[in-house]
Amino acid sequence: MNVNPILSVEGLGKRFSSGGGFFSRATQVHAVVDVTFNVGPQTSLGLVGESGCGKSTLARCLLRLIEPDEGRVLFENEDIAGLLRPALRRMRQRMQMVFQDPYASLNPRRTVFQTLAEPLRVHGLAKGDGIETRVGAALAEVGLPVDSAKRFPHEFSGGQRQRICIARALVVEPRLIIADEPVSALDVSVQAQVLKLLEGLRERHGLSLLFVSHDLGVVRHVCDRVAVMYLGRIIEEAPVPEIFDQPLHPYTQMLRAASPVPDPQARFALPRVMGEIPSAMNPPSGCAFHPRCPQAMARCSEERPRLVDVGAGRCVACHLHSAASAEPFV
């Protein structure tokens, strides 16, 4: 699995300061804590979690849109932390991002052509007629008519705008695309169109994908592996479909059970979900999930479980699954 991963993240951490002033010290919010995972070439990893789990912050750290405080990110075996301007720009050509809100992701005053041509110019990937050709090709790939290039974003629907964003990410020919909730703001039938597009693109271009989402159904369909985050940490990682059919961590189980399924028979398994998602400013002691966990033990409030390998390519951070012989997941 980890044969030369295209993206390797080790111990990544990011803190934010909140509040504070002359008379009170600011509280530290740990948005991302000790995150470690790999994305293999031509595979897709899903990152799931609810509000405050840190998945969006994590995604931005990978592109250095936010600077991480700890840990390393290796892209194509190169540590991105040390990169200077020109090298950073090159990296940004090969690792691209698609955002959640199709209405805010495009400059409303630029035509589609200008939006797609700009990265080509900035990275020196094409000149003159070459630009037109590549823009046309990118539009065709995402299933938009060539004359879209002359128009402005407001003339398109949400789904079409998202395709334009994908085209913009594709036009620089990246190896990895980080998609932050790319279909969450879209209607169901439009979602399907964009997902199918992403599928096709992955196959044709051999792209790797890091897919951040809160929708387990979408993630099951798109991803090969899934990492589940809770309050800044990864608490379980496993291949699809095992992680959904037999979730190990109680939070993953709760998430799975609470996810609506278009089957009326499934409603009788609606779990009694306890409690609220805790604030990152005041995380619980020990295992962050223990106050809401139906299987919590005494140990859980005292000692935080480490992420351990439990075989079959799965790892989980839970005292229920930390046999003494298990290896810590490095």
- Considering only residues 255 through 294, tell me which ones interact with other proteins, judged by CB under 8 A: 255-267, 270-273, 276-277
Smallest gap from Cβ 249 to other proteins, in A, equals: 13
Q: Are 226 and 240 in contact (CB under 8 A)?
A: yes
d(CA 263, CA 120): 46
Among 42, 69, 72, 123, the residue binding other proteins under the rule CB under 8 A is 123
Nearer to other proteins, 148 or 322 (CB): 148
Interface with other proteins (CB under 8 A), residue from 11, 241, 313, 328? 241
Size of the residue set binding other proteins (CB under 8 A): 76
Report the candidate in 194, 204, 196 with the shortest Cα–Cα distance to residue 100.
194
Ranges within 25-54 binding other proteins (CB under 8 A) = 50-51
Give the x-and-dash track for 153-192 against other proteins (CB under 8 A). -x--xxx-----x--x---x-----------xx-xxxxxx
Helix (H, G, I), strand (E, B) or coil at 93: helix
326 touching other proteins, by CB under 8 A: no
Report the nearest approach of other proteins to the CB of residue 195 (Å).
7
User: Among 62, 145, 158, which Cα is nearest to 104's?
Assistant: 158
**Smaller CB separation from other proteins, 29 or 308:** 29
111 part of the interface to other proteins, by CB under 8 A: no
What DSSP assignment string belongs to 228-270? EEETTEEEEEEETTHHHHS--SHHHHHHHHHS--S-GGGGGG-
Question: Which residue among 15, 72, 151, 221 contacts other proteins (CB under 8 A)?
Answer: 221
Query: Cβ closer to other proteins: 188 or 323?
Result: 188
CB of 188 to other proteins, least distance (A): 6
Among 136, 217, 284, 291, the residue binding other proteins under the rule CB under 8 A is: 217
For 18-67, the DSSP string reads ES--SSSPPEEEEEEEEEEEEE-TT-EEEEE--TTSSHHHHHHHHTTSS-
19 touches other proteins by CB under 8 A: no
Q: How far is the CB of 271 from other proteins (least distance, A)?
A: 7
Applying CB under 8 A, which part among 20-28, 39-47, 69-77, 86-94 lies near other proteins? 86-94
